[in-house]
Amino acid sequence: MSAGFEGSGLEDALAQQRASHGRILPFCTLPWQATSLPDFVEGSIQILERCRQMGARGLKIPKVLGLVARDVDGTRLAVDSPRLDPIFEAAGRLGLIVLIHSGDPRAFFEPATPANERWEELQSHPRWSFHGPQYPSFDQVLGEFERRVLRHPRTTFIGAHFGNCAEDPARVARLLERAPNYFIDTAARVPEFGRHPAATMRAFFMRWHEHVLFGTDAGLSADPTTWVLGSGGDTLTTPADVDRFFRSTFRYFESNDRRFENPTPIQGRWTIDGVGLPPDVLRRIYGGNAARLFGLPWPPPPS
């Protein structure tokens, strides 16, 4: 998802695409550390055009936009800054799907104290705290993200991490209602949306199953002790952690079990309730929607 651009990683990602016979589809990135340069927008459009020619399938925008990226005058560069409009329009023109991560869990914008429900995680990752006057509020950056999506109806967007707002599925649904070009993924947020009532979430997935993409946010390695499963602590990942991560994830979507351990306990020491989705909905979420977005072959359901 963060494959760089020409001369900065994209060539390696495209080699992986070839080696995987197309099972890996790289998304390019832009040099967001250069946003304060006057020619950033023009240069970015040129990068996108070249990335598309080389075979990139999308554009990944990290959370630095809206949180730490600076404008030419040194102020915070907002996610919905009009200055960036040509970049998003170019992505749509080129057929690049824009996956955008804006903000982070609401708890990361609150004081990093033992009272914070993500205190354990913030202790392991102190740089994930965005509390303080130098950062926007959770609602401010999320509002910027929503306005960005609505401004570009001809560009396909994927809102990373359950639309960047797993705490409020109703708010996610409101944007889905207004933007038919908008999709969300489930990466690294099963613990968060899984704590909502099962009936509420089942209704959400049944309503929006054509706009939800399965994701994990897992960083993979041949050595399971070095995997990153959405989030981790100060110790190496164990095979048991990997097993729990996938077992709990699929148990959430496929069963009606109640009060079981979430995939990554460091993201919250609470239990989750399964939503028991039917097979046709699971097929769309697990792969059918992605196949449709990327024009990939997708086998018919078993008879």
- Residue 23's CATH number: 3.20.20.140
Instruction: Tell me whether residue 235 is in a domain.
Output: no
SS3 content of the chain, % helix, strand, coil (to 5): 45, 10, 45
Domain that includes residue 91, residue range: 10-185
Instruction: Tell me whether residue 197 is in a domain.
Output: no
Instruction: Tell me whether residue 123 is in a domain.
Output: yes
Is this model's pTM higher than 0.85 or not?
Answer: yes
**b/e per residue 216-231 (b: at least 16 CB within 10 A):** bbbeeeeebeebebbb
Q: What is the pLDDT of residue 263?
A: 96
Q: How far apart are CA 105 and CA 267, in angstroms?
A: 10
Instruction: Tell me whether residue 217 is in a domain.
Output: no
Residue-wise pLDDT tens digits, 89-140: 999 999 999 999 999 999 999 999 999 999 999 999 999 999 999 999 999 9
Residue 233 has pLDDT above 90, yes or no: no
Residue-wise pLDDT tens digits, 168-192: 999 999 999 999 999 999 999 999 9
Residue-wise pLDDT tens digits, 256-275: 999 999 999 999 889 999 99
How many domains does the chain fold into?
1
Instruction: Tell me whether residue 251 is in a domain.
Output: no
Residue 58 has pLDDT above 80, yes or no: yes
Q: How far apart are CA 282 and CA 270, in angstroms?
A: 25
Half-sphere exposure in the Cβ direction for 209 (13 Å, CA)? 19
